[in-house]
Amino acid sequence: MQHPDEGTIHAWLDGALSAGEASALEAHVAGCDQCAAAVTEARGLLAASSRILSALDSVPGGVLPATAPRAEIDDRVIPIARPSRWRSPGWRAAAAIVLVGSVSWLATRSTPREVDGNVAAPTEASKVATSAGASQQSMPFAADSTAQIEQQSARPSAPQAVRRTVMRDERAAAEREPTAPANKLAVPPAPSPQANVATTSAMPYAAPRLVEPPNVGTGGGIGATAGRVAAEARMAAPAPAPVAVASADAALRADTSISAPDRAERRMAPASSRMKVSAERAAPRRMALMETTPDADTTAQRLAGCYYLETASSRSSRPAIRSAAALVPAQIELALDFDSSSHAGWRILRPAPGSPQFATGAHATWSAFAADSVQLELGRGSERVTARLEIRGDSIHGNATVIMPQLDAGSMGTGVRGTRMLCSSP
Amino acid sequence: MDAEQLFRTYHDTLVRYLTRRLGDRDWAEEVAQETFVRALRQRTLTNERAWLFTVANNLVRDEARRDARRRKHLVLLREEARAQEEAEPEPTSLERAQEAAFARRAVDALAERDRLALLMREEGLDYPEIAAALGLSVGSIGTTLSRARRRLVEAYEALQKRDAGEGGHAAS
């Protein structure tokens, strides 16, 4: 057999050759160093190009976001739909309470006391009030809202809100406990967030583990990087059989697309400043992946709460699509209904306190179906909305399917995104 | 396959493909929407996935050809609206934004055919499906993909190196 050209090698790696062609190529590569090197390089290119393309997914709507220095990220945890509300002093105070609650929890957590994620200590609210002053220095926007925090704490409803928030913090933190992923490749000790940033910017698609020196490829940058990446593929699957290649590539993509610490960082990234404080102060090394087994009850408790939602199609130029998009409510509460034994695993979906009734006025439910995801069902008769949304930190996003007779096709899909809000009337 | 199942099966894939191709999620959603509308008018679809991608490609091409000016205007209006919103649902780090910007430029630097083949392959289309969608022979897809991957990685690395060089100058 002649030396295969690059296109044939890629076709082989993509599993597009016939069994006969594949085995002939495999046999040739086994005895040809030059071709083995070409295969290694091709694997690197495959993994690298996948990694590069996946970076395109991180830009919502095609507009590069205005970037801000990390230190300045304060109260821009914000809403898509109603920015002005979040800038009001009341919301700032509420955000400060969330932050302070988190810091307070961290302080208590360092003591030997066992934290019970389901029962909030009755003194949490008062601890929050007393630690507010101490925490001011580290919170850029706390100074102008401390008085409001105290005022709110004095009102009967405020401690309850704080307690709910603290409970949520505890659950969220419990989820972030280091749980060793059983079937993952070795995860290196997590570097500090800063070190991690340096790593990702210097080697955006190279794996964090360098297991074999690059000595293959065409030389130069690409070969070197590709070689490093490909070296791992060989470690994962030494035999270049097509099936093994496929699994090696899959493992490679999983492993190199985002390094473990980077994944942890990304998980933290969209969270509110409350989460940032928790992560950076308390336990940067505890930012392990949340690879827990989905547990419907625990997940539901963690994800329950109120959210703003914005539907992509609400900006459509077509009236029918806009009206269909309007069936997705703008403010929802994922409420827990522990008494309803007949709806095991299902929860009540209702308008967030103070927001209008759902357009259809129908009974609605939600359920948690994975570690970070919920499914919403809403509607009556011929109009129905089903949404699958992923919740990361305080952000919620996913897709909704709206079924409505007025639509040409009878149904449509649309992107949905939003953010967590407090479950109380503003 | 009924409407809902067709939608559930392919919507995310198609929107991701279109978003990567167009660089605009809203536009991608609209094209995907129109694609599904057309799919549902068909009585039978022999290869649903290849059909959907082909129609989506055609819609993008036709629209680009016919409405280039109108589209520019709409994009401009949308950008303005976004600027006023001042809202970013997920704070994106500088590094990720830069990665995305480099990736966008590297992808845009590819020849149209190479870019589409690569993006479709990333969404799991096999060689015959890609060949059908692009009107190429199956035998040429390997070459097309290998060229696309190499050029993408080369372009990306060149952007990085240039950026690192500029960063070095700035620091010194």
Pick the CATH number of B91-172 from 1.20.1090.10, 1.20.120.1770, 1.10.10.10, 2.40.440.10: 1.10.10.10
Q: Which residues on chain B are in Cβ contact (under 8 Å) with A314?
A: none
pLDDT tens for chain A, residues 1 to 426: 789 999 999 999 999 999 999 999 999 999 999 999 999 999 999 989 988 998 888 655 434 333 333 333 333 333 333 333 444 445 455 555 555 555 555 555 544 444 343 333 444 433 443 343 333 333 333 333 333 433 444 344 434 444 444 444 444 444 444 443 333 333 344 434 343 333 333 333 333 333 333 333 333 343 334 444 443 433 443 333 333 333 333 433 333 333 444 444 433 333 333 333 333 333 333 333 333 334 445 677 788 888 989 888 787 777 878 888 888 888 888 887 544 443 434 567 778 888 877 766 566 777 776 778 888 888 766 778 888 888 888 888 888 888 777 777 777 778 888 888 888 755
Give me the mean pLDDT over the B88-104 stretch.
71
Whether A45 and B153 lie within 8 Å, measured CB to CB: yes
Cα–Cα distance between B113 and B130 in angstroms, integer?
A: 10
| Residue A163: burial class (beta carbons within 10 Å; 0-12, 13-18, 19+) | middle
Q: Most distant CA pair in chain B: distance in Å?
A: 66
Contact A81, A307 (CB under 8 A): no
pLDDT of residue A267: 37
Q: Which of A10, A312, A408 sits opposite B29 (nearest CB)?
A: A312
Residues of chain A in contact with residue B79, where contact means CB-CB under 8 angstroms, are 63
Domains contained in chain A, CATH given: 6-57+206-256 (no CATH), 78-178+267-286 (no CATH), 296-421 (2.40.128.120)
Helix, strand, coil % over all residues of chain B, rounded to 5: 85, 0, 15
Backbone φ and ψ of A200, nearest 5°: -70, -35
Asked if A49 and B153 come within 8 Å (Cβ–Cβ), the reply is yes
Q: What is the pLDDT of residue A390?
A: 86
What's the confidence (pLDDT) of residue B82?
Answer: 60
Q: How confident is the model at residue B142, as a pLDDT? A: 96
pLDDT of residue A283: 34
Q: Is B13 on the interface with A (CB under 8 A)?
A: no
DSSP B1: -
* CB contacts, 8 Å: A60 with chain B: 25, 88-90
Cα Rg for chain A, rounded, in angstroms? Answer: 25
Q: In chain B, positions 94-133, which contact chain A (CB-CB < 8 Å)?
A: 94-104, 106-107, 118-119, 121-122, 126-127
What's the pLDDT band for B111 if we cut at 50, 70, 90? very high
Residue of chain A whose alpha carbon sits nearest to that of B4: A411
Three-class SS of chain A: CCCCCHHHHHHHHCCCCCHHHHHHHHHHHHCCHHHHHHHHHHHHHHHHHHHHHHHHHHCHHHCCCCCCCHHHCCCCCCCCCCHHHHHCHHHHHHHHHHHHHHHHHHHHHCCCCCCCCCCCCCCHHHHHHHHHHHHHHHCCCCHHHHHHHHHHHHCCHHHHHHHHHHHHHHHHHHHCCCCCCCCCCCCCCCCCHHHHHHHHHHCCCCCCCCCCCCCCCCCHHHHHHHHHHHHHHHHHCCCCCHHHHHHHHHHHHHHHCCCHHHHHHHHHCCCCHHHHHHHHHHCHHHCCCCCCCCCHHHHHHHHCEEEEEEEHHHHCCCHHHHHHHCCCCCEEEEECCCCCHHHCCCEEEEECCCCCCCCCCCCEEEEEEECCEEEEEEEECCEEEEEEEEEECCEEEEEEEEECCCCCCCEEEEEEEEEEECCCCC
Q: Which residues from B are below 8 Å from A315, CB to CB?
A: 26, 78, 81
The answer, yes or no, to whether residue B60 has pLDDT greater than 80, is yes
Q: Where in chain B is the domain with CATH 1.10.1740?
A: 1-87
pLDDT of residue A183: 38
Q: Which fold has domain B1-87?
A: Rna Polymerase Sigma Factor; Chain: A (1.10.1740)
For CATH 1.10.10.10, the residue range(s) in chain B are: 91-172
Say if residues A369 and A294 touch (Cβ distance below 8 Å). yes
Nearest to B89 among A11, A55, A419 (CB): A419
- Average pLDDT of B30-58? 87
B142-154 average pLDDT score: 96
Among the partner-chain residues B3, B87, B140, the one whose CB lies closest to the CB of A80 is: B87
pLDDT-derived band at B40, boundaries 50, 70, 90: confident
Q: In chain B, count of helices (H) and strands (E)?
A: 8, 0
Checking if the pLDDT of B130 tops 80, the result is yes
A295/B11: higher pLDDT? B11
Confidence at residue A345, expressed as pLDDT on a 0 to 100 scale? 42
